[in-house]
């Protein structure tokens, strides 16, 4: 190593609040949805299900003074080499209008403090774990469901993805096929993971909002439950999506006797709003 490389940073230089990482791949699912992955700095640690700030540097040539950052759930599990994200594209969204144009090799800002409540540590031990995500609210559950810890803690893990149109069922291939060949969780996924997609605005093998599937008992019949309701003794849940979905689904969970938890006080279910804009 040269003397230059060892020189300390100037005393008045504030440490950067963000890592600068490189885009590894981008996958466009529809004109409204895409996923991408970035390099993971060696010092960056997180728990499966957490979110972090990501964004794009200010374009100084356009007179921009500040970077734009938003909270994004990390879709890859805690031990993954790369950091994956699942994003909406909002045509005039301050961040996503630009983010949707990224390509492999581009640079992305990554916050240094991942956090969040959609983590296994925030739910009490149980037998069944329901992961309810609408739209890009699936993202944290892509992380949790690819973590062997989920299968060590629960006998059954149900990934419920609610969308308007069939084409929005991103990651359907992952949950119906690819995950079964995963070297780390393949066997567990085959035995313990149920993928439960539902579509609300066009014909599909299953239709209806989570709230209706719960209220009519259809969800419980389809996952082989002995009762047509949640059991506070054994059922745990995580919710991620729009405010309205979270509010209405949480009300049903509470009506069935489940209590909301947090990192400080683990409970029967935890919630987090999905990023939009």
Q: Please name which of 141, 133, 159, 128 lies closest in space to residue 224, comparing C-alpha atoms.
A: 128
End-to-end CA, the chain: 44
Query: Which lies closer to ligand A2P via its Cβ, residue 156 or residue 211?
Result: 211
How many CB atoms are located within 10 Å of the residue 218 CB? 16
The Cα–Cα gap between 182 and 81 comes to 15
CB of 75 to ligand A2P, least distance (A): 17
The Cα–Cα gap between 228 and 210 comes to 14
The token duo for 227 is 């009762």
CB of 30 to ligand A2P, least distance (A): 12
Query: Which lies closer to ligand A2P via its Cβ, residue 45 or residue 247?
Result: 247
The Cα–Cα gap between 92 and 94 comes to 6
The Cα–Cα gap between 242 and 228 comes to 25
Query: Which lies closer to ligand A2P via its Cβ, residue 116 or residue 162?
Result: 162
Query: Which lies closer to ligand A2P via its Cβ, residue 134 or residue 225?
Result: 134
CB of 21 to ligand A2P, least distance (A): 28
Question: What is the Cα gyration radius of the chain?
Answer: 20
Query: Which lies closer to ligand A2P via its Cβ, residue 191 or residue 244?
Result: 244
The token duo for 126 is 């149980």
The Cα–Cα gap between 186 and 180 comes to 4
Residue 226 three-state SS: coil
Query: Which lies closer to ligand A2P via its Cβ, residue 115 or residue 242?
Result: 242
CB of 262 to ligand A2P, least distance (A): 22
The Cα–Cα gap between 169 and 178 comes to 15
Distances from the Cα of 182 to the Cα of 70, 85, 146, 239, angstroms: 30, 19, 9, 25
Query: Which lies closer to ligand A2P via its Cβ, residue 76 or residue 211?
Result: 211
> Per this entry, what is the length of the chain?
277
Using CB under 6 A, list all residues that contact ligand A2P: 134-135, 162-164, 200-201, 209-211, 241-242, 244-245, 248
CB of 209 to ligand A2P, least distance (A): 4
Query: Which lies closer to ligand A2P via its Cβ, residue 87 or residue 211?
Result: 211
CB of 1 to ligand A2P, least distance (A): 51
CB of 240 to ligand A2P, least distance (A): 11
Q: Please name which of 215, 212, 216, 188 lies closest in space to residue 200, comparing C-alpha atoms.
A: 212
CB of 88 to ligand A2P, least distance (A): 9
Question: Measured over all CA atoms, what is the biggest interatomic distance in the chain, rounded to whole angstroms?
Answer: 70
């Amino acid at each position: 190593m040269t003397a230059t490389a060892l020189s300390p940073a100037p005393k008045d230089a504030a440490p950067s609040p963000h890592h600068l990482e490189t885009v590894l791949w981008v996958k466009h699912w529809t004109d409204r949805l895409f996923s991408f992955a970035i390099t993971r700095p060696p010092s960056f640690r997180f728990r499966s299900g957490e979110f972090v700030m990501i964004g794009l540097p200010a374009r100084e040539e356009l007179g921009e003074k500040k970077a734009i950052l938003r909270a994004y759930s990390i879709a890859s599990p805690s031990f993954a080499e790369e950091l994956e994200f699942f994003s909406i594209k909002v045509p005039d969204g301050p961040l996503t209008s630009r983010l949707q144009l990224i390509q492999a090799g581009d640079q992305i800002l990554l916050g240094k403090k991942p956090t969040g409540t959609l983590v296994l540590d925030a739910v009490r031990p149980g037998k069944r774990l329901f992961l309810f995500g609408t739209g890009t609210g699936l993202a944290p559950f892509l992380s949790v469901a690819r973590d062997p810890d989920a299968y060590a803690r629960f006998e059954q893990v149900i990934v419920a993805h609610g969308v308007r149109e069939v084409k929005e069922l991103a990651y359907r291939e992952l949950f119906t096929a690819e995950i079964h060949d995963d070297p780390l969780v393949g066997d567990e996924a085959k035995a313990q993971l149920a993928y439960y997609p539902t579509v609300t605005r066009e014909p599909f093998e299953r239709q209806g909002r989570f709230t209706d599937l719960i209220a009519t008992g259809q969800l419980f019949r389809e996952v082989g439950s002995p009762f047509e309701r949640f059991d506070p003794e054994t059922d745990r849940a995580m919710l991620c999506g729009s405010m309205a979905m979270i509010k209405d689904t949480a009300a049903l969970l509470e009506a069935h006797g489940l209590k909301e938890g947090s990192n400080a006080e683990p409970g029967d279910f935890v919630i987090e709003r999905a990023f939009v804009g």
